[in-house]
Chains A and B, each alone.
Chain A
Amino acid sequence: MPEITGDSIKHRTFDAIVIGSGISGGWSAKELTEKGLKTLLLERGRDVKHIKDYPTTNKFPYEFEHRGEVPMDIQKESPIVSRCYAFREDTLHFFLKDKEHPYVEQKPFDWIRGYQVGGKSLMWARQAQRWSDYDFEGPARDGFAIDWPIRYKDIAPWYSYVEKFAGISGNKDGLAELPDGEFLPGYPLNAVENYFKEQVNKNYKNRHIISARGAHISKPQQVHLDQGRGKCQNRTLCQRGCPFGGYFSSNASTIPWAEKTGNLTLRPFSVVHSIIYDEQKGKATGVKVIDTNTKQEIEFYAKIIFVNAAALNTNLILLNSVSKRFPNGIGNDSGLLGKYIAFHNYSSTISGEYDGMKEFKTDGRNPVGGGYVPRFRNVFKQETDFLRGYAAGFSAYRGFDTDSSGFGADLKNALLNPPLAPWRVGSHMMGETIPKETNFVTLDKQLKDSWGIPQLSISVDYDDNDQKMIKDYEDEFTEMFSKAGFTNIKTARTKKAPGLDIHEMGGVRMGNDPKASLLNKWNQLHHCKNVFVTDGACMTSTSTQNPSLTYMAFSARAADYAFEELKKGDL
């Protein structure tokens, strides 16, 4: 690996720069280095080496001082990140401290970030579904945002490409609204998940319960073994980092792969201040970086730049990249940079019990969590008084009913020999939100962070469409649960602020019209063609799928295009 010790411009010049080493940046780096491009991968946080830097990965519950709980002082110090489900005593080191990375909340927004090599790909929930044309055609059909510049056929081969390498488990379900992929064997539904699937099939047309599709190696292929990854061992301790490489992360997969090409230079502790635009050449020539430790400013140069800083930080970098040509942020002739931010509506959950299938329980753990309910609302035609719809998780679990009311020997016996509980079932909604100009991010005019970079100011909120959708999810799932004979059915609002879904998207949306969008169909800035954005910022709409797989596919597709354009001399 080349050293970055010299001060000479030569040592700071690469073929490509990738900003951010999370799920999309890892893919950009892998693809570009494999094509032979000398690539600088910049990461604002520390390095995290696969296995070596997973300090908690093999710990037993009793080896944690607070048995997994986050102590009160840490919660008080970082109230935002403490609301994230994955923030536990065993994963603290993969999350930041709120006060070290401030931002402005014009409206409540829980911005969950992973500032380290691998980013949030270390702690993600690993659900991976393809979009279909019912998703890509949504804005055009329903008249919101703008039309996507691509369709399913444009991205389908790239879904296949990334799925094979990443390792996605799932079944061929044959659903038009959720296309099948290149799957490793799916994790079968359990007794009550299957029962619910049958009940729903019986009671409804076009509603399906399928095995959740996840980035877990259920059966390793040669390409996974070549990455040094093995079979998922059903630990479900994924957020600690997996010693088997059983789930996909940049750390286990794309980054070591890129390193093996000899073309990668990984530079942690490098926060990107802005992209450098050359007025004469009419293109970007590099990036201005601040070393997060020394606070020294360094410039790096390259022919192409991939921005994969995670959706909102990508917006921040572009907004902060001002020049004579682009006084309002690079590529921002339309004035829409930072606008049309959207997310996923995770506002409601539902639970119940099933007094059957008592002859079964579960044994071991399901790494993908159970079942998935693809969107069934407004898929083939508009049928409700709100736009779009929701997907949902669905899982069934059989635990124990421990009676801990006693004392002494009675209590000890009750704790150690509890009777099996009935099956309990649960679901959570994942709703599409409508991107709007009024949901936006800007740079605060006064406040800066410790590196002199303007703080991001976020103004994102739910709307009436979201509220109607929450009610519909609750009504429909209550009915589906009732018809299946579930009892004790309860809905519970999560009261999550936007952001806590950790699916924030948009701000640098794709589109055919340069007046109404920032990126073209190749994820290339309309007005600065050697800058590519392939993380969540590029999303024109959100649909209901967990988005990471689509970012992977966009990254690989755009890297391929960028390389071809470079070869032709067009960039």
Chain B
Amino acid sequence: MIIAGGIAIMPSCSNDPGKASIELKKINITADQEALLSEIAETIISVKDIPGAKNLNLHLFTMKMVDDCHNEEEQKVFIIGLNNVDKAAETKYGNSFAKCDARQRTALLTAISKEEEALKDIAPFLKIAKRRIIQGFMNSKYVMTDLKKYELVPGRYNGYFPVKQA
């Protein structure tokens, strides 16, 4: 089992090193694409430096959600966008995304999210990826336990809870 965002995901049955590491039913993602998505995820929300969040594998969670919870059209634009990220990085910075420095990566994703003309075909991908990465992060056991505690059993309701004035 692979843990992604705190849940177990079936590893791929394939031994092909070119394939994604988790089992996907609908979309095809190669090991290279998976590695790129991992870098993009880390750029969107850096978790590597957070003890306890290092292994959230938000990119795998994203792949799983795109595979199971998006329609064919969204899956298509997701793959197209992902495929074009390296090209855009090359054009802008002369390097693949993974080889760009942190500032360049953030600048590129910001430009994509602003739907700049040349990057328009990547924007739908980033929208989906970002939404899922945020979801995977915020609904992870780590965040829901250590940072923003989710209460399964509140046992109370107060409709006049005072807001602390800053």
Contact = CB atoms under 8 A, between A and B. Distances in A.
Interface string A410-452: 0110011000100000000000000000000000000000000
B2 interface: no
A365 B161 contact: no
Interface stretch (B30-38, B39-47, B76-84, B115-123): B39-47
Contact of B148 (A64, A233, A365, A416): A416
Contacts of B135: 67
Contact of B157 (A191, A234, A237, A358): A234
B159 A415 contact: no
Contacts of B9: 65
B153 A233 contact: yes
Given A67-B139, A71-B69, A404-B130, A416 B163 contact: no
Nearest to A76: B71
B51 interface: no
A233 to B, nearest CB: 5
A559 B165 CA distance: 58
A363 B113 contact: no
Given A69-B69, A405-B113, A366 B155 contact: no
B154 interface: yes
B150 A362 contact: no
A544 B148 CA distance: 40
Q: How large is the interface on A (under 10, 10 to 19, 20 to 34, 35 or more residues)?
A: 35 or more
A233 B154 CA distance: 6
A73 B153 CA distance: 32
Given A188-B159, A415-B137, A66 B68 contact: yes
Interface in A377-411: 404-405, 407-409, 411
Contacts, number: 119
Where chain B touches its partner, the secondary structure class is mixed
A405 B112 CA distance: 12
Contact of B46 (A71, A191, A409, A416): A409
Nearest to B25: A73
Q: A65, A69, A361, A409: which has the most chain B beta carbons within 10 Å?
A: A65
B28 interface: no
A363 B158 contact: yes
Contacts of B160: 190-191, 360
13 contacts: A66-B65, A66-B68, A69-B65, A72-B68, A234-B154, A359-B162, A359-B163, A360-B163, A363-B161, A365-B157, A407-B110, A409-B46, A415-B45
Interface of A: 58, 60-67, 69-73, 187-191, 193-194, 233-235, 237, 358-367, 404-405, 407-409, 411-412, 415-416, 420
Across the A-B interface, the 5 shortest Cβ-Cβ residue pairs? A190-B159, A363-B161, A364-B156, A364-B157, A62-B6
Interface of B: 5-7, 9, 43-46, 64-65, 68-71, 102, 106, 109-110, 113, 130, 134-141, 143-144, 147-148, 150-163, 165
